[in-house]
Amino acid sequence: MTQSMLGYDPRASLFKKKNAKGNSYYINYYLPNGVRVRRLCGPNREVSLRRMRIKERELLDGIFEDFDLEKMPLERFEPQRKKRLEIIEGVELYLEMTRNKRRPRTHQFDTVKLKKHFSHFTSMGKIFLDEVSHSDAQRWVNTLEASGYKESTVKSYVAMMAKVYNYFIDTSGELDLKNPFKKVFVSRKGTLTRDHLPKDEEIRRLLEARLPEKSGHTVPIEDIVKFAIFTGARKSEILHAEWGDFDFDQGIWSIRIKPECPTADGLGWQPKWGKPRQVYLLDGALEVLRKIKISRPLKTEGHVLIRDHFGKVTAKESYDADFIFHRNVRLERNPQQVVSRRIDNLDKAFDKLLEVAGVDGLIFKDLRKYFNHILVSRYGFSNKEASSYIGNSPEVNLRHYDPVDPAVIRSKTEGMSFNEIIGLERVRMIN
């Protein structure tokens, strides 16, 4: 507890006074009403020091002896302390107050991670939020790094923990809090930007790959991958694309805000950053759509997960939709009946397709990066034009989606002669 929280300074001091019998030690302290008190402790310095520390603790806790109360008003003084918030209570309150500002899936993620990482401090005996020091936070970061977490992951966890403190600092004037996660040091382990560009041969093999019929995968991963390669679209944009989003006469895909589209987290879907855009479809993308349209089901459905206060799924509600990419599922209660449902996860199917194609080290997002690279390097799109097409800001596009192709650098350096440029026949090495 600090002076500002109590309204006065509870610290005591010890001083020595010489007399005829030797040395005597006194405790000097102030009461909340400003009265200074001097108390004799005796000739022993160590005993006096212990008594001084006990007195400081009593003052800090608002405990006063009769001797002190005589020098104070008749009513017992109750120091105006600022409140303290327990860690567990603080995390629960933060999650409750920010629930409506997060997507359900994000809220669920925050719930799991915050409880997990704050338990690190409660296991250390920390009870209140203000007991977590900057040193404690730094040791926690060091523990994460020693456990093998990526730099980007550690930084995301630090930001998440810091938000809890910032929330109470900004919204509550009753708490005396400092953010212990401010300015913690996270070791750099290399670039946070994934700089991997698929090769043309890898993309060709992916387009030609087919999963075995008995692979067990119900996701039409081949069509999804082809559509992604020819549009540069995000995974979420592809999986929530509906037939009503397309103008086949103009060859335009309208990626738009759709309040009634069922997602796993509830009704309503929108593009990243809430920014609609139009995609002028290439022949390869139109080919995929025409193929699917031939066997288009009458309807598809999307399950919306219903969660309780703690984020646990308690029920599912089904809504009709018109998704282009779907999976066919046989009902357990009636195996003869097949329904078409929204695809929520295609990671396993994509990994299997990579295996069949003999391609290593790719993630789905790399297909989007490849498309952007083709627009810029082979079709002459400016960075601004390419970013507009795939739905990025020019800054993000340049940083994350415009990797350098080593083959291009090699081709440009072949035949280069600095001697010719600087007008020398040869360059001598001087030792």
Half-sphere exposure of 146 (CA within 13 A, CB side): 6
pLDDT of residue 75: 45
What's the pLDDT at 242? 93
pLDDT score, position 134:
92
> Tokens representing 195?
């700089």
The closest alpha carbon to 111, from 130, 97, 131, belongs to: 97
Quote the CA–CA distance of 129 and 115 in Å, as a whole number: 13
Q: Which of 219, 318, 323 is nearest to 264 (CA)?
A: 318
pLDDT of residue 420: 59
Each of the 431 residues of the chain gets a pLDDT tens digit; together they read 444 445 567 778 888 888 777 788 888 888 877 788 888 888 888 888 888 888 888 887 777 787 788 777 654 445 445 578 889 999 999 998 888 777 777 888 888 899 999 999 988 888 899 999 999 999 999 999 888 888 888 999 999 999 999 999 888 777 788 999 998 999 876 555 566 788 999 999 999 999 987 767 788 999 999 999 999 999 999 999 999 999 999 999 999 999 888 887 778 888 887 889 999 999 999 999 999 988 877 677 777 766 655 556 677 788 888 899 988 877 666 666 667 888 888 989 999 999 999 999 899 999 999 999 888 888 888 888 888 888 887 777 776 666 656 665 566 656 655 555 555 554 444 44
Report CA dihedral (367, 248, 297, 245) to the nearest 10 degrees.
70
| Other CB atoms within 10 Å distance of the CB of residue 330 | 12
Question: What residues contact residue 296 under an 8 Å CB cut-off, 6+ apart?
Answer: 243
Q: How far apart are CA 18 and CA 174, in angstroms?
A: 46
Six-digit token string for 349:
């199917």
* 352 dihedral zone (left: phi>0; alpha: psi -120 to 50; beta): alpha
Residues 6+ apart with CB under 8 A from 198: 359, 362, 366, 367, 369, 370
Q: What are the tokens at 80?
A: 């105006």
Rounded to two decimals, the pTM is 0.59
Look at residue 192 and give its three-state secondary structure: coil
Contact 29, 11 (CB under 8 A): yes
Q: Which of 252, 132, 253, 236 is nearest to 184 (CA)?
A: 132
Compute the residue count for the chain: 431
**Diameter of the chain measured on Cα atoms:** 111
Q: Are 114 and 164 in contact (CB under 8 A)?
A: yes
